[in-house]
Amino acid sequence: MPRYALRIEYDGRPFAGWQRQAGQPSVQGALEAAVARIAPGGAAVLGAGRTDAGVHAEGQVAHLDLDRDWDPLRLCAALNAHLRPDPVAVVAAARVTEAFHARFSAVERVYRYRLVSRRAPLVADRGRAWRVNSALDPGAMRAGAAHLLGRHDFTTFRSSMCQAKSPLRTLDALEVEEVAYPAGREIRFHLRARSFLHNQVRGIVGTLERVGAGAWAPDRVAEALAARDRSACGPVCPPDGLTLMAVGYPADPF
């Protein structure tokens, strides 16, 4: 059976997450329902990352096995026709070998988190960024973020429901960028690692927000990491501002 890789974009707000769940809308479920319309018997759509409820994607990758050959452009068009009106789009497809696995072949994941500091509620970006009232110091957040780079035991920043066998992860990049924003300030966090623990990104950003607001000194981030204790983590920020931007492979399947 031919195997295809898909690059997928979605708005996570209507979904209970990527993974299919009984009685709950999911991105995986929406895709598999679309596949069932073009392939008798359907097919499993396996993703590179199991994003949580409310988390978005601009570069999720998945794969599936079909019972016949498809031109990649026609496959995208057919799936997108049956995905409407769900806010999910297949932006690229490619034929890959049976050795390719969207999750296990991946060598990195890249996430972005958007944080907006302003008093007025968000309207255009509602559900796409986290708004806070406090003024933020990007320099202090960068100083705190520096303590998290490299390989560490990230138990402090890991959900109690995380199913990963080990809390050890290597954080390859954690950039704090300030960008212009109408009537406010926006801070964007760019994180890159081979893999992340459940809620790791949201725990890190919530902790760094406390640093930026002046509630934590930057060195307290190192103390929290060393504690290896979930109670030492800052508040876990909401999913609104989190987007899976890209998944990397030894060779780009697209």
Active-site residues, by number, are 52
Bridge partners of 117?
132, 185
What does 2-49 look like in DSSP terms, one character per residue? -EEEEEEEE--TTSSBSS-BTTB--HHHHHHHHHHHHSTT----EES-
Residues 10, 56 contacting (CB under 8 angstroms)? yes
The residue ranges of the chain whose pLDDT is under 70 are none
Radius of gyration of the chain (CA): 19
Residue 216 pLDDT: 97
Residues 224, 207 contacting (CB under 8 angstroms)? yes
Residue 182 pLDDT: 86
Q: What is the DSSP letter of 157?
A: G
In this prediction the pTM is: 0.96
Residue 183 pLDDT: 86
Cis ω before 85 (30° cut-off from 0)? yes
d(CA 124, CA 136): 21
Structural domains in the chain, sorted by start = 3-105 (3.30.70.580), 108-247 (3.30.70.660)
Residues 171-203: b if buried by 16+ CB within 10 A, e if exposed: beebebebeebeeeebbbbebbbeebbbbbbbb
